[in-house]
Structure 1
Amino acid sequence: MSTDKATDKEKTVVKSADRVLDIIELLASDVEPMSLMDISRVLDMPASSTYKLLQNLLSRGYLETDRQEKLFRLGYKILEIGTKYTQNTSLISEFQHVAQRIVDEMNEAVYLSIRSENNIMYIAEKQSTQPVRFVSHLGMKLPLHATAMGKMLLSRLNEEELIRIYPDDQLGTLTETTLNNRNDLNAQLASIREEGLAYSNSEAVQGVQCVAAPVINSQNQMVAAMSISIPKARLSDELWAKAGSMIRQAAKELGLKIYYQQV
């Protein structure tokens, strides 16, 4: 192979990489989803080339689209990578401070998660000193519909997005009480949107109840969910009510500290 051909190939590879980054940066700068033609026009790229790049980004989770694949926006993978980068910085650090106050007050475990495809992924936790407790590990994944944090993350999705995640009426179970019907899920999501809290009742781990609240950024986007888990053996009405109140306030505080200070 000649030097000129090698140079031409190198330029082509770099140009493709630049175009991928241009697409990501464009969608990151625009709150509203964009169409193929709008992306092609703004970036001055051929529609055919733009389409192929969009399909590659979709398949890897860097973009998401509607059911007709007409509008595109950033996908879960961008947040997942960003979260990995910030594990020792602001979001995780502030979570530790906020969660510690809950542990000091209630001595129950607190968790932080993000969406990873059809699952939640645990990215931080603050454990209690109780002898009986649910222990996760960073990076652990559980189905969205089976967890309080997952239901909270699902509550911001529209019907088309939910159908794409759950094309069948049966959702799958982890325990005998796991929510397993899409109609039942939709009913719960409607309640979550109204109340601002999500619940799970031994749906992912037998004998453990959880309550979750959303972490919202300055663009009113849900970027994570935060929860308190309590084994049923020591659950009381008073403790459960306190958990809901504390996780709501803590998640709101975390969002304000991390995102609104950067506006």
Structure 2
Amino acid sequence: MKRKADAIQTASDAAAQGADAKPNRYAIHSVEKALDVIEALSEHSSLSLIQLSEIVNQPKSSLFRIVLTLEDRGFISRSDDDGYYCLGYKPLVITKRLLERSTLRASAMSEMQKLVDKYGDTVNLCALLDEEIIYIEIIEGTFALRMTDQVGSKAPVHATATGKAIAAMLPEETVRALVTRKGMEPRTPNTITTMPALRQELALIRARGYAVDNEEITLGARCVAAPILNMFGRVEGAISLSGALHRFPDEAIAEIAADVKATARAISMKLGFVEE
């Protein structure tokens, strides 16, 4: 209970900070309140009406009408057992449709499968969302290492190969601002935790065209990633091959990286990128 209370307090503080931000005069406040409810429930497995009221900083009387509307439309669901609310089926339907229409995903699927077929390890397609890496697609191979990552899950930029591959293509001030806000939490003893070390790592990635996660987020796992560029030459995402450490020995990294880079290049070309 204490853990949930702490999480609720953190979310409440975030909501209060958001309320202090400069308002958008074109915003529809009732829509914003409804979205606050959906976002709050996305951060928690379930919440009572009272807990929701505390998090989104809305009176229960007006919040109840919003909740009923969202429940009627399938965006949230109410448990018959305890009366708590959770996300409904509609966000899943919308997410599924979004992924199906994603140009990045559509361009990457066949190329990802080729990489899986060759190596038998897991191939990940990621993008940057809300200053974190989000997994857009994952294809597991024969030698798939049991990981917690799944489509829609997020991971820190500084500790992942895909995150570093994307960050290497961004302006340094953008990366600095990102890690300042998100922090550089050590996930393993190998995680990069300082900006100077990250800056040096990103320079190396730009020079060789690929990034390596050397047990930086999960001990016993290694990952090689390369950035995907769009028709404007800007980074759109990253693709990676990941698996158990013994399948990614030092002497094999160069060959693996060449194939990952070739895959990223093929996807980039499908997105309209033209090499000069």
TM-score band, normalised by shorter chain: 0.5 to 0.7
RMSD: 3.0
Runs of 4 or more consecutive aligned structure 1 residues displaced over 4 Å after TM superposition: 12-15, 81-84
> Residue in 2 aligned with 1:104?
117
Q: Does 1:178 align with 2:191?
A: yes
Q: Does 1:153 align with 2:166?
A: yes
Selected match of 1:220 from 220, 233, 243: 233
- 1:47-126 to structure 2, matched below 5 A, reads 85-126=98-139
Deviation at 1:111, TM superposition (A): 0.5
Is the deviation greater in 145-154 or in 226-235? 226-235
- Indicate how the Cα distance of structure 1 residues 13 and 181 shifts in structure 2: closer, same or farther if over 3 A, else same: closer
Please give the alpha-carbon distance, in whole angstroms, between the structure 2 residues aligned to 1:136 and 1:218.
29
* TM superposition score normalised by structure 1: 0.63
Q: Does 1:207 align with 2:233?
A: no
2:272 alignment partner, SS class: helix
Paired residues of 1:96 and 1:125 also in contact (CA < 8 A)? no
Please give the alpha-carbon distance, in whole angstroms, between the structure 1 residues aligned to 2:180 and 2:115.
38
Q: Deviations over 1:199-241 (max 9, x none)?
A: 1111111111111111111110001111110211333345422
Please give the alpha-carbon distance, in whole angstroms, between the structure 2 residues aligned to 1:115 and 1:220.
16
Deviation at 1:132, TM superposition (A): 3.8
Please give the alpha-carbon distance, in whole angstroms, between the structure 1 residues aligned to 2:174 and 2:231.
23
> Residue in 1 aligned with 2:72?
none
Paired residues of 2:233 and 2:273 also in contact (CA < 8 A)? no
Q: Does 1:128 align with 2:128?
A: no
Please give the alpha-carbon distance, in whole angstroms, between the structure 1 residues aligned to 2:239 and 2:96.
14
Q: Does 1:256 align with 2:269?
A: yes
Please give the alpha-carbon distance, in whole angstroms, between the structure 2 residues aligned to 1:127 and 1:135.
12
* TM superposition score normalised by structure 2: 0.60
Please give the alpha-carbon distance, in whole angstroms, between the structure 2 residues aligned to 1:249 and 1:239.
16
Q: Aligned letter for 1:253?
A: A
Q: Deviations over 1:7-31 (max 9, x none)?
A: xxxxx9699xxxxxxxxxxxxxxxx
Please give the alpha-carbon distance, in whole angstroms, between the structure 2 residues aligned to 1:233 and 1:85.
36
- Indicate how the Cα distance of structure 1 residues 255 and 84 shifts in structure 2: closer, same or farther if over 3 A, else same: farther
> Residue in 2 aligned with 1:163?
176
- Indicate how the Cα distance of structure 1 residues 133 and 162 shifts in structure 2: closer, same or farther if over 3 A, else same: same
Unpaired runs of at least 5, structure 1: 1-11, 16-80
Deviation at 1:141, TM superposition (A): 0.6
Unpaired runs of at least 5, structure 2: 1-24, 29-93
- 1:13-32 to structure 2, matched below 5 A, reads none
Selected match of 2:249 from 225, 233, 236: 236
> Residue in 2 aligned with 1:75?
none
1:228 alignment partner, SS class: strand
> Residue in 2 aligned with 1:63?
none
